[in-house]
Amino acid sequence: MRRNDLLDSGLLIGVVGAGAMGSGISQVAAAAGRKVLIYDQREGAVEAARDGILARMDKRVREGRLPAAEREAMASRLCPVATLEELAPCGLVVEAIVEELDAKRGLFAGLEGIVSADTVLASNTSSIPIGAIAAGLNRPDRVAGLHFFNPVPLMKLVEVIPAPDTAAEVIEGLMALSRVMEREPVRARDTPGFLVNFGGRPFVTEGLTIAQEGVASPAQIDAVMRDCWGFRMGPFELMDLTGMDVNLPVTEFIHHATFSDPRMRSTYLHRYKVATGQLGRKTGRGHYDYHDGAERPSPDAETRRSAAPAVAIAEPSDALLALLKEMGIEVLETDDGAVPLLAAPIGEDCSTLCSRIGADHRRLIGVDVTGDTTQRVTLMVPPGGDPAIRESVVARFNVARNVTLVGDSPGFIGQRICAMVANLGCEMAQLELANPGAIDAAMRLGLNYPRGPLELADAIGVERLHEIMRRIQEQTGDDRYRPSQWLRRRAQLGLSARAPAFPDLEDDA
């Protein structure tokens, strides 16, 4: 099929699978003026999907956001069919069935005997390699990935993925058709999880790791990532929304497919939630309780004592001094041996810092000055700290900020999670999964991140990011935190994380 064939307004699109994804794909295709034939082997599923689409359209009509005539036109373009054979006249068939390789292979093999030789076959798989789906087909050149995101009508990103034999005109046509459907397509390499599901692993898995280590609670981690780093949801809120039964299999698949790369590793806590049926909102309980009347745990440290009148600085930090000045906290020029000692570790825990500079661990409190500190400040304490010192510092910060108090951890909360996200984005660029601009666009659009991972690396500072990763790896002994070579080279040369490997090649994201 030529590129322009996929752009023809008379293109007939088949959608196999009438679940949330198939229903959403059918809706955006019909909204773009294409007639859609919807098939699902489950009795009543297609009719329920069509009714759901029209109910959403009816709501928009009532709200004045959609003309009634357009609603009727869309309804006429949504056509349930009872058999696969009725998809024979389609120029494009999009598969949105269960995430099982054998099921997808079987469906595409069956479709080859039904549709014309030029019909494009596209899979909405979120993680299974397109090349594996196309293997063994008579015409693998017409098979590609067309991965939408849930909820499809709201999420603008589409990943377009070529398999080894996919014809260039098929990819060009799907990219163009995606734009007609008012989506923003990004071409991705055919690797496990493609761009978004691959790059999105560390946000949730590092949150789980921090919680499993007892450093902080889910509520604390979520609050820090929202208030200090601008994420719309924290990792635990996100997992509860998507469902642990959805999140865990993708994580395990990508970890296995990358030969157990520790950067893709999750935790026992992840699997435990699924094993015990704590799947999130869909079951009424996940990391939070969603039953009526349930209260969410507070992320804020309790204030039990009055504020300390003054503090000393254990290690000079311009950002820490600026924060204390803004809050009106007096800083002694010399340590009197009694006041709280404050420091701003970068990629270190308080224990390592105390050992390195010889500070009194009983009085030392770490303050995270990375990220946004205008709403919330994260404080960290080493083992054996003086409770009175700790509580007085919490009280003093709590005068002007929400305070999250966490256990000793290299990189607090935000440094760890953001460094992992940014470092994996650098690795994605190193592996040429896409160009830097496409990687950033995919993560912003597909996951609603405030910045793409390479943009985040530049916001943190490439040299600082490399130092955070190097220090965490050194303290934990875990190659999960090994810096990407893409990151190392740019840190050593003082370049942007988005600097291409070959400067003469245009970033065409």
Q: Which two tokens stand for residue 333?
A: 């020029």
Catalytic residue among 124, 197, 351, 392: 197
Centroid of chain to Cα 219? 18
Helix, coil or strand: residue 287: coil
Centroid of chain to Cα 132? 25
Q: Which of 418, 459, 460, 453 is nearest to 436 (CA)?
A: 453
- 312 touches 339 (CB < 8 A): yes
Task: Work out the end-to-end distance of the chain between its first and last CA atoms, rounded to an integer number of angstroms.
Answer: 24
- 211 touches 217 (CB < 8 A): yes
- Residue with structure tokens 């924290």? 234
At 199, the amino acid letter reads: G
CA distance 259 to 191: 13
User: 461-470 as b/e, with b when 16 or more CB fall inside 10 Å?
Assistant: ebebbbbbbb
- Residue 109's φ and ψ, nearest 5 degrees, are -65, -40
Catalytic residue among 159, 348, 391, 467: 159
For residue 219, give every residue at least 6 positions away whose Cβ sits within 8 Å of its Cβ, in sequence order, or none: 236, 288, 296, 297, 298, 299
- Residue with structure tokens 């923003």? 184
Alpha helices in 167-216 (DSSP H): 168-180, 196-199, 201-212
How many alpha carbons lie under 13 Å from residue 100 in its C-beta half-sphere? 6
User: 89-108 as b/e, with b when 16 or more CB fall inside 10 Å?
Assistant: ebbbbbbbbeeeeeebbebb
Catalytic residue among 23, 26, 123, 126: 126
DSSP bridge partners of 299: none
159 catalytic per annotation: yes
147 catalytic per annotation: yes
Determine the Cα angle at 205 with ends 204 and 207, to 5°.
65
DSSP bridge partners of 159: 147, 186
Catalytic residue among 147, 255, 270, 466: 147
| Residues tagged active-site | 126, 147, 159, 197
